[in-house]
Chains A and B, each alone.
Chain A
Amino acid sequence: MGWRTFFAVTAICLFPFVGAKANDELLKLETDPNQWVMPTHDYAAQRYSTLTQITKDNVKRLHPVWTFSTGVLRGHEGAPLVIGDVMYVHTPFPNIVYALDLNHEGRVIWKYEPRQDPAVIPVMCCDTVNRGLSYAGGKILLSQADTTLVALDAKTGDVVWQVKNGDATKGETSTGAPVVIKDKVLVGVSGGEFGVQGRMTAYNLKDGSLAWKAASVGPDEEILFDPQKTLSLGKPVGANSSLSTWEGDQWKIGGGATWGWISFDPKLNLVYYGSGNPSTWNPAQRPGDNKWSLTIFARDADTGVAKWVYQMTPHDEWDYDGVNEMILADIPVKGKPTKALVHFDRNGFGYTLNRETGELLVAEKFDPKVNWASHIDMKTGRPVVVAQYSTQLNGPDHNSEGICPAALGSKDEQPAAFSPKTGLFYVPTNHVCMDYEPFKVSYTAGQPYVGATLSMYPPKGDSNLGNFIAWDASAGKIVWSNSEPFSAWSGALVTAGDVVFYGTLEGYLKALDAKTGKELYRFKTPSGIIGNVMTYVHGGKQYVAVLSGVGGWAGIGLAAGLTKGTDGLGAVGAYKALSSYTQLGGVLTVFAVD
C-alpha cells in the first residue's frame, strides 16, 4: 500500500472520528505494534513493543539498513513516529519535520520548516532540543521552540492551524512533545531557569482553540485545584495550597515548568505529568515548600482539574525537577495487584504510587550513591534530608560538596521502559555528583534566574558517569546494573523478543538480554545518542530506529569533560571528555536483522 493509498484509506476511515472520538483512533493505533503513533509509544508510556521478529537470539545479526541525515547539528532528543507507510522525523531548532516514505527507503515526501526568531535559541536552558511529534486525525502536532503549537496536514505538511502557547521574551520556550488525549492536544512549557510560571495547556485538536490551562504554582483557580476534592496522599489539599507555600507573589516567577512526558489512563480518565524546579536555584530566596513544583499531577483529561498531587521534593535545594515520565503499569506491589504509577525522579528515588488515589507505596534509591536524603518518610511523603547536603541549611555563599545526584538528576528526561513479560523497568541513569553553592540573584524577564554555581563529577571512587539498570518497582530494588562511562541519556525500548535497547553518549546503539542485562549487540552510530529507541514493522519486517545527535544538557561536558582531569576519581583513572568519542550531527539510523 503506497502512502497515497494509505492516506486515502485513513482519511476515509478516520475522518468520522475526528473530534471527541479521536481518542478511539489513538487507543486503537497504540496497540498496533507495526506503528509508533505517539512520543511515549503508548498512553501508559511503557515503551514496550509486542514485536517478536527481533529476539535475544538473533539480535546479534542486527545491522543498519538505511540512514538519514537531518541536516541539523544540535542535540536530537525524542524519536520519530511511524504511521502506516510514513515516518515522521523531527529536529531540534529550527524544528524541521520530515515525512519520509518507507516504501522508498526514506525518500522525503514533504518537509516543513517553520520560521522562528533565532532570539529564542539562547533562551533555551540547555540546548535547543525537541522531544518529538504527535499524531491524530490526519494531523501531525509539533511544539516549536518559540512555543508555537502547530497542526500539520499529515499528508501534505500544510499548516492546518497554529497557536502561540507562551512568550519567549519572558523565557517561555518549548522542548517537550505534545500529546493528543481524546479531542485535545496537551502541551507543556519550558523555562524553569528563567522564572516562568509553569503550566499544562490543552487545546482543541479540531482548531487549536483553548480548552483548559492548569498552572503548577499559583491561586487555586489558576492551578485548577478543588480544595476539598484534590487530594495529596489521601487528604484534601485545602484552600490556597500553593499560595501558602510561597512568600508574597514570588509564585508569579515560581517555575514548575512542565517540559517532560505526559501519560494517560483512559479508564480513569486521568492525565499524568510532573513539574520542574522552583525558580531560583538559590533556596534562601524562596522560603516555603514552593508547591506545586517538583510534583506529580493527576488531572481530569476533560477539565484539567487535579484529582491528586504528590510533591516529591518540597523546597528544592538542588534542581531536582520532577518532570520525568510517569509509567502506568498494572503490577503486583508488595503482593497486591495494583494500578501503579512508576516514576524515576531526578532526585534519585524510584517511586511507585497507586495511580488512582495517589497513595505512596514505594520510594527507594535507584542509585546507591544517592545521599542528599536518607530515605522518604512514607507517612508524610517527605524526604529526610541529610543536613550536610542541604544547601538551604548551609546557606548562600557556602559551597556544599559531594551532593549525589547532581542537578542533572539520577535520571533526566530519557524515558525508561517496562516489560510486562519480565515485570522489570529498564532505566537509563546518570551517576554524577556535584558541589552546589547558592547565591543571591536578581530577576530580569527573559534572563537566566539561577543563582547557584555547580561543579559536577562522578561519585567518589567511581569513574563511570552512568548506569543502565533493571528495576523491581514492587521491592524498590535494582535487579541488575550495567555501568556506562557516560550518562545513559537515551530512552529505552523493550520488546516481547526479550531484548532491551538504548543508546549511549558515545553513539552506541546497544541491545541487551532483558532478563540478564547481558550485552548482545552494539553499533556505533555517527554521533552520541540522546534520542529514544523505537521499533516498527514495514513490509512485514521489523525495524529498530534511533536518532543520533549529541547535545542537550548531556552535551554540557562534551568539550572538555565535566570536571578537571582525575580530580576526585581516586585510583580509578582519568575521565575523558566526550569529544574524544563523538562529534555533532543529527542522523537517523534504521536497523534490521537479515
Chain B
Amino acid sequence: MMLRLFGGGLALAALVLSATLSNATADQKPYVVKDGKTDQNTYNGWRRYSESCLRCHGPDGSGSSYAPDLTNSLKTMSEDTFKATVMGGRVNVGQANQNVMPMFANVEDVAMYIDDIYGYLKARSDGALDRGRPERFKDEKK
C-alpha cells in the first residue's frame, strides 16, 4: 500500500506540471474530429486504449462487467483526475467490489500517450466519435 501511495504521489506531482500546460489550452477540445474523421493523436489514443485498457474497460471505452464505462465517467471526471487515476491507479475493494485499477506511470505505452488516450476517450464521451476504429484524415502521416 505504501508503494502504491508513493507511486500515486509521484504521478500526482507529474500532473501538477501537465495540469499547468493543459490549463493554457482549457478552451480547446483535447481531440480533433471533423466529419467523423480524426487526427493521428486521437487515433493513437484509440490504439493505445485497445492495448492497455480494453481488456477491462471494454471495446471503445464502453465498459465491461468488471470495469466502468469511461465514456460515462468522463462526463463528470476532470482531465486531471483521469490522468491521476491512470498514472497512480485506484483500489476499490470491499464487500461488494473487487475493483483494482493498476498504476500505469511506469508503462511506456500508456504514460507517453496519456494525452492521446484522454483525447480519444473524451471524444467518445462527448459523442464526437462513434464506436469502432476511428477513421483518420486522409493521407495524414504520423
> A: which residues have CB within 8 A of B?
71-75, 92-94, 118-119, 121-123, 125-128, 193, 399, 435, 437, 439, 441-442, 444, 447-448, 450-456, 550-552, 555-565, 567, 584
Chain B nearest CB: distance from A127 CB in Å?
5
Q: Are A128 and B133 in contact (CB under 8 A)?
A: no
Instruction: Please report the C-alpha to C-alpha distance between residue A144 and residue B92 in the assembled complex, in whole angstroms.
Output: 20
How far apart sit A442 and B110, CA to CA, in the bound complex (Å)? 11
Q: Are B109 and A442 in contact (CB under 8 A)?
A: yes
The chain A residue with its CB closest to the CB of B104 is A447
Sample of 23 A–B contacts (CB below 8 Å): A74-B65, A74-B66, A92-B98, A123-B102, A126-B55, A399-B133, A437-B47, A450-B51, A450-B52, A451-B51, A452-B51, A453-B133, A454-B59, A455-B59, A455-B133, A556-B59, A559-B62, A559-B69, A561-B62, A562-B59, A563-B132, A564-B60, A584-B65
Contact between A559 and B65, CB atoms less than 8 A apart: yes
Tell me whether A127 and B65 are in contact (CB under 8 A): yes
How many cross-chain pairs have Cβ atoms below 8 Å apart between A and B? 123
B64 with A444: CB separation less than 8 A: no
Within 8 A of A (CB), among B88-115: 89, 91, 93, 95-102, 104, 106-109
Chain A CB within 8 A of B130 CB: yes
B47 touches A439 (CB 8 A): yes
Least CB distance, A399 to chain B, in whole angstroms: 6
Whether B51 and A556, one on each chain, are in contact in the complex, defined by CB atoms closer than 8 angstroms, is: no
Which residues in chain B, 51-85, are within 8 Å of chain A measured between CB atoms? 51-52, 54-56, 58-60, 62-66, 69
Chain B: minimal CB distance from A173 (Å):
13
- Taking a contact as CB atoms under 8 Å apart, the answer to whether A453 and B47 are in contact is yes
In the complex formed, the residue of B with least CB distance to A457 is B132
Least CB distance from B80 to A in Å reads 22
| The residue from A439, A456, A555 contacting B66, defined by CB atoms under 8 A apart | A555
| Interface pair B100/A122, CB less than 8 Å apart | yes
Nearest residue (CB) in B for A126 is: B55
**Residues of chain A with a CB closer than 8 A to B59's CB:** 454-456, 556-557, 560, 562-563
B47 nearest in chain A by CB position: A453
Known contacts A74-B66, A559-B62, A559-B65: A441-B98 contact under CB 8 Å = no
List of A residues within 8 angstroms of B31 by Cβ: none
Q: Are A119 and B47 in contact (CB under 8 A)?
A: no
- Distance, CA A399 to CA B136, complexed state (A): 13
Q: Which residue of A lies closest to B46 (CB)?
A: A453
In the complex, which residue of chain A has the Cβ closest to the Cβ of B52? A448
Candidates A452, A455, A551; contact of B132 at CB < 8 Å: A455
Decide if B51 touches A567 in the complex (CB within 8 Å): no
B22 at the interface (CB under 8 A from A): no
Q: Is the CB of A73 within 8 A of B96?
A: yes
A555 and B65 in contact, given A118-B98, A448-B51, A563-B59 (Cβ under 8 angstroms): yes
Q: Are B51 and A560 in contact (CB under 8 A)?
A: no
Using CB atoms, name the residue of chain B closest to A435: B133
In the A-B complex, the 5 residue pairs with the smallest Cβ-Cβ separation, listed nearest first, are: A555-B65, A559-B63, A564-B131, A560-B62, A453-B50
CA distance A562 to B132 in the complex (A): 9
Complex contacts, A75 vs chain B, CB 8 Å: 65-66
CA distance A442 to B51 in the complex (A): 11
**For residue B100, which residues in chain A have a CB less than 8 angstroms away from its CB?**
118-119, 121-122
Q: Give Cα A559 to B69, complex, Å.
A: 7
* Contact partners of A551 in chain B: CB under 8 A: 65-66
Chain B minimum-CB-distance residue to A92: B98
**Chain A residues within an 8 Å CB radius of B101:** 122
Extra contacts, 14 of them, besides A74-B98, A454-B50 (Cβ < 8 A), are: A94-B98, A118-B98, A122-B101, A444-B106, A447-B52, A447-B107, A448-B52, A455-B59, A455-B132, A456-B59, A550-B65, A551-B66, A556-B59, A584-B65
- Kindly report which residue of chain A lies nearest to residue B90, judged by CB atoms: A122
Of A126, A399, A560, most B-chain CB atoms within 10 Å:
A560
Complexed CA–CA distance, A428 and B74 (Å): 37
Residues of B contacting A119 in the complex (Cβ-Cβ under 8 angstroms)? 4, 100, 102
Give every chain B residue within 8 A of A567 (Cβ-Cβ).
131-132
B102 (CB) vs chain A CBs: closest residue: A122
**A128 and B66 in contact, given A118-B100, A452-B50 (Cβ under 8 angstroms):** yes
Contacts of A448 in B (CB 8 A): 51-52, 55
Q: Which residue of A lies closest to B97 (CB)?
A: A73
A2 to chain B: closest CB distance in Å?
A: 32
Q: Within 8 Å CB of A558, what residues of B?
A: 58, 63-65
Q: How distant is A126 from chain B, measured CB to nearest CB, in Å?
A: 6
Specify which of B64, B95, B107 is in contact with A555 (CB 8 Å cutoff): B64
**Min CB gap B82→A, angstroms:** 17
Closest residue of A by beta carbon distance from B131: A564
State A118–B69 Cα separation when bound (angstroms). 21
Interchain CB contact under 8 A, B99 and A560: no
* C-alpha spacing A122/B91, complex, angstroms: 10
* Residue in B50, B59, B109 whose Cβ sees the most chain A Cβ within 10 Å: B59
Q: How far is the CA of A447 from the CA of B103 in the complex (A)?
A: 10
Q: What's the Cα separation between A92 and B97 when bound, in Å?
A: 12
User: Using Cβ atoms and an 8 Å threshold, which residues of chain B touch A565?
Assistant: 131
In angstroms, Cα B58 to Cα A455, docked, is: 10
- Give every chain B residue within 8 A of A435 (Cβ-Cβ): 133
Bound CA–CA A455/B69 (angstroms): 17
Which residues in A have their C-beta under 8 angstroms from that of B56?
122
B131 touches A556 (CB 8 A): no
How far does the Cβ of A413 sit from chain B's closest Cβ, in whole Å?
16
Identity of the chain A residue whose Cβ is nearest the Cβ of B142 in the assembled complex: A397
A448 to B59, CA, bound (A): 16
Rounded to whole Å, the gap between the CB of A292 and the closest CB of chain B is 25
A453-B132 in contact (CB<8A): no
> Bound complex: CA of A123 vs CA of B101, how far in Å?
10
Residues of B within 8 A of A73 (CB): 96-98
B112 nearest in chain A by CB position: A442
B residues near A552, Cβ cutoff 8 Å: 65
* Closest CB in chain B relative to A462 CB, distance in Å: 18
Q: For the complex, what is the distance from the CA of A561 to the CA of B132, rounded to whole Å?
A: 12
Residue contact A125 to B55, C-beta cutoff 8 Å: yes
Identity of the chain A residue whose Cβ is nearest the Cβ of B56 in the assembled complex: A122
- Tell whether A118 pairs with B91 under 8 Å between CB atoms, given A93-B98, A125-B55, A555-B65: yes
Q: How far does the alpha carbon of A127 sit from the alpha carbon of B65 in the complex, in Å? A: 8
Contact A444 B133 (CB under 8 A): no
Q: Give A240 to B96 CA distance when docked, in angstroms.
A: 49
